[in-house]
């Protein structure tokens, strides 16, 4: 993955050259211009210009007409404040003389009327020619001051996740670290970076990263999953040779400790289904073994794998069948 895929740019631990999130910019970091922020629309173009666009950022629709004196006062104010907002909102103007249908559907009976759309739906609005200060208050109410940064963070987290899935853990780590340079307590980025470090074998650094998670966010599912992975990695380090464990099982299929240790090693190697099956086999043979240790370990696997993991779902079904059959 190239740095063009990373909205934050820069590298993990880089002291210089790293781009940071810039306020007053569009999500890709380039300065917003009037052509991108302000446009006229038609009845046919409303779905694309307003409904679809508002799913990315709030869109103000200015319903006006050429004969409307207050409209002529309000429109320049709207344009000025929208441009000053630097990409947090967009402005779409609709001449209701030429395109009356949308205004009629929204029940607009007098102009100027401004309706704010977000996530494809009208969420707020006002009528009349408000002064610039009131227009600014309206925009600040519907668009977070950090809207541009929020979009950049979202894009960065997606890029990091794609990099991790592709096996490019260094690139993913760089992106997560860049997010944390902007928002040090960002929980998804902390968990993401910790997971990358675990996969890279740097357990101690992963533990340090997780220590930065705010106390009231320690129960976050991604954080718990990373902590479970650390615990599993530490356990696996003491287990020994899988070939020797296989030999012990061949000699004695009731050697539950050998089977348990082999399950731990298989999990560490990413063989989740096989690891779960070994623990389920212990439970089937002797539920009480090691104080119900096989079931407890399987539940720890579920925490580490995450509820949405296919291996978790498969093993949970098998566990239910075993417990309730």
Q: Is there a contact between 165 and 195 (Cβ–Cβ < 8 Å)? A: no
The per-residue pLDDT for range 42-91, each reduced to its tens digit, is 999 999 999 999 888 899 999 999 999 999 999 999 999 998 887 788 99
H or E element that contains 227: helix 221-236
Q: What is the mean pLDDT of residues 259-276?
A: 89
Q: Is there a contact between 260 and 278 (Cβ–Cβ < 8 Å)? A: yes
User: What's the predicted TM-score (pTM) here?
Assistant: 0.45
pLDDT of residue 144: 62
Where is pLDDT greater, at 322 or 259? 259
The per-residue pLDDT for range 166-212, each reduced to its tens digit, is 989 999 999 999 989 878 989 999 999 999 999 898 999 999 999 99
Omega of the bond prior to 288 within 30 degrees of 0, cis? Answer: no
The per-residue pLDDT for range 25-50, each reduced to its tens digit, is 333 333 344 457 899 999 999 999 99
pLDDT at 24 over 70: no
pLDDT of residue 151: 67
Measured between alpha carbons, how far is 127 from 130 in angstroms, rounded to an integer?
8
pLDDT of residue 34: 47
Residues marked active site are found at 68, 71
Quick one: how many helices (H) and strands (E) in the chain? 15, 5
* CA distances from residue 237 to 175, 230, 249, 282 in whole angstroms, order as listed: 29, 11, 20, 22
Measured between alpha carbons, how far is 66 from 164 in angstroms, rounded to an integer?
54
What are phi and psi for residue 231, nearest 5 degrees? -60, -40
pLDDT of residue 254: 94
Site of tokens 């760089």:
174
Q: Give the count of beta carbons closer than 10 Å to the beta carbon of residue 206.
A: 24
pLDDT of residue 149: 62
pLDDT at 12 over 80: no
Where is pLDDT greater, at 240 or 316? 316
Average pLDDT over the chain reads: 83
């Amino acid at each position: 993955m190239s740095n063009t895929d990373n909205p934050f740019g820069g590298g993990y631990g880089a002291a210089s050259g790293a781009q940071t999130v810039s306020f007053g910019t569009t999500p890709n970091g380039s300065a917003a211009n009037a052509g991108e922020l302000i446009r006229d629309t038609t009845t046919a173009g409303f779905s694309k210009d307003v409904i679809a666009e508002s799913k990315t950022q709030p869109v103000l629709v200015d319903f006006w007409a050429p004969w409307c004196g207050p409209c002529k006062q309000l429109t320049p104010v709207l344009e000025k404040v929208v441009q000053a907002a630097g990409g947090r909102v967009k402005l779409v103007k609709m001449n209701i003389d030429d395109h009356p249908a949308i205004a009629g559907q929204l029940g607009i009976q007098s102009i100027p009327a401004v309706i704010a759309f977000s996530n494809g739906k009208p969420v707020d609005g006002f009528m009349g020619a408000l002064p610039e200060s009131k227009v600014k208050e309206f925009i600040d109410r519907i668009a977070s001051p950090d809207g541009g940064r929020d979009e950049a963070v979202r894009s960065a987290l997606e890029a990091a996740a794609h990099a991790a899935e592709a096996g490019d853990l260094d690139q993913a780590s760089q992106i997560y670290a860049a997010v944390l340079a902007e928002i040090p307590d960002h929980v998804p980025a902390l968990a993401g970076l910790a997971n990358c470090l675990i996969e890279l074998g740097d357990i101690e650094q992963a533990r340090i990263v997780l220590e930065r998670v705010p106390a009231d966010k320690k129960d976050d599912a991604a954080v718990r999953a990373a902590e479970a992975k650390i615990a599993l990695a530490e356990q696996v380090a003491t287990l020994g040779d899988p070939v020797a464990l296989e030999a012990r099982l061949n000699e004695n299929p009731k050697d539950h400790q050998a089977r348990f240790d082999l399950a731990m090693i298989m999990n560490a190697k990413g063989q989740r289904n096989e690891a779960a099956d070994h623990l389920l086999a212990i439970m089937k043979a002797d539920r009480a073994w090691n104080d119900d240790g096989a079931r407890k370990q399987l539940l720890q696997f579920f925490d580490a794998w995450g509820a949405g993991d296919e291996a978790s779902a498969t093993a949970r079904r098998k566990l239910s069948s075993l417990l309730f059959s």
